[in-house]
Amino acid sequence: MEQHDIVIIGGGFAGLSLAKFLAEKNLDVVLLEEHDGFFRKACGEGVGTHFKNYDFLDLYGSKKGIEREVQGIEIRTKYGKAFFNAPLFVVDKRQVEEEFARQAQRLGADIRMKEKVRAIIPGDHIMIQPQGISARIVVGADGVFSLVRKTMGQDKPPSAVGISGITSTLEREKDRCYLEYDNSVIEYGYTWFFPKKDTWNIGIGSLHPHGMKDSFHQFKAQYTAAEWKGGYGPISKPLTLSQNNLFLVGDSGAQIRSTIGAGNLTSIISAHILAETLGRYAKSNFRTIQGEDYASTWDRVLGKVLRREYYITSLMKKLQTNEYLLHLCITNLARITSTYISHQS
């Protein structure tokens, strides 16, 4: 039987960056991804440039796939505009995922495509089926419908749904991203317009799947895109991140900024924190696993902020039927967040 120290399930930002960080520590790591290519689901492709002491470019170690840097997000409602001062890159996400994979492989990680995991049998040595691999540690980087999370006995968190596409024609300033709240277009959600190099990533998302079909048809009639992709993202408080030798990272653990549905940078930072923890266990040949180590460091760095964002999102959901109150909430949030971010950086 094939045996490994660490098996990562899922090749999105969380899994691929974790594979790279673990390979940098010379650890024995295998990543299993069910598709034969990367980046199959919807995403706005925005990535925060930094959070606290974490810098995306340092973590990524490349500039490949970075198409544009903007200073923040302009939020529009019927009653006006607010500006979130939150610098971000708009990327070609497929290229960034491919580059993470390339770096991880160069450092010795074994990345296997077209490997869908169907069963995980917990134990001191975890069995992964149908691959027939035995692992000391299994990490679920397998997204919002995580099998690893299910194996840990946790339910799927409440999720938002979104559809994105790439369009070339849009007359707007390309120095910022745009989010638009308008109940006549989409209820309990927003449309987004993110400038790429020569094109725009546009999309529509909602906390409620009901009504999404009609809203998307209206949106699609207004904007053309060669291809539309759908996807779900968790909108929830972060979940329990470890159980014995099973760990969660990224969307599987709901490590997401609920207010704007942003999980790209938080997934990578979470992967870095997990890699540091697993690196320490490796020194004792994984005999002294304390899953809480990961959870407590993670909570200090990200957990408190992400929980607060979740409570704000719950409030916004309640306010969204009254668009004026929502506007006041967003304007104040923009002010608080901008102050918060400038204190952090």
Ligand X SMILES: Cc1cc2nc3c(=O)[nH]c(=O)nc-3n(C[C@H](O)[C@H](O)[C@H](O)COP(=O)(O)OP(=O)(O)OC[C@H]3O[C@@H](n4cnc5c(N)ncnc54)[C@H](O)[C@@H]3O)c2cc1C
* Residues of the shown chain interacting with ligand X in the complex, contacts defined by CB under 6 A: 9-15, 32-35, 41-47, 116-117, 141-143, 147, 162, 164, 203, 205, 231-233, 250-251, 256, 261-265, 267
Contacts of 10 (CB under 8 A, 6+ apart): 31, 32, 33, 140, 141, 142, 143, 146, 250, 252
Instruction: Please report how close the Cβ of residue 194 comes to ligand X at its closest, in angstroms.
Output: 6
CB-CB contact of 59 with 268 (8 Å): yes
Backbone angles phi, psi at 309, to 5 degrees: -65, -35
Handedness of CA 171, 231, 310, 79 (dihedral sign): positive
First to last CA, the chain: 49
Nearer Cβ to ligand X (208/325): 208
Closer to ligand X at the Cβ: 26 or 344? 344
Give me the sign of the Cα torsion angle 256, 50, 333, 90: negative
* Nearest partner of 211 among 312, 315, 320, judged by Cα: 320
Q: Which residues contact 309 (CB under 8 A, 6 or more apart)?
A: 257, 258, 259
Q: How far is the CB of 204 from ligand X (least distance, A)?
A: 8
Instruction: Kindly tell me which of 322 and 344 has the beta carbon lying closer to ligand X.
Output: 344
Which residue lies nearer to ligand X by CB, 164 or 242? 164
User: With left for phi above 0 and alpha for psi between -120 and 50, is residue 122 left, alpha or beta?
Assistant: beta
Nearer to ligand X, 79 or 223 (CB): 223
Nearer to ligand X, 116 or 300 (CB): 116
Q: Compare residues 41 and 196 and give the one whose CB is closer to ligand X.
A: 41
Residue 203 or residue 291: which is nearer to ligand X going by CB? 203
Token representation of residue 237: 């408080």
Q: Is 53 exposed, middle or buried (0-12, 13-18, 19+ CB in 10 A)?
A: exposed
- Report the candidate in 303, 14, 168 with the shortest Cα–Cα distance to residue 22: 14
Closest CB to ligand X among residues 46, 195: 46
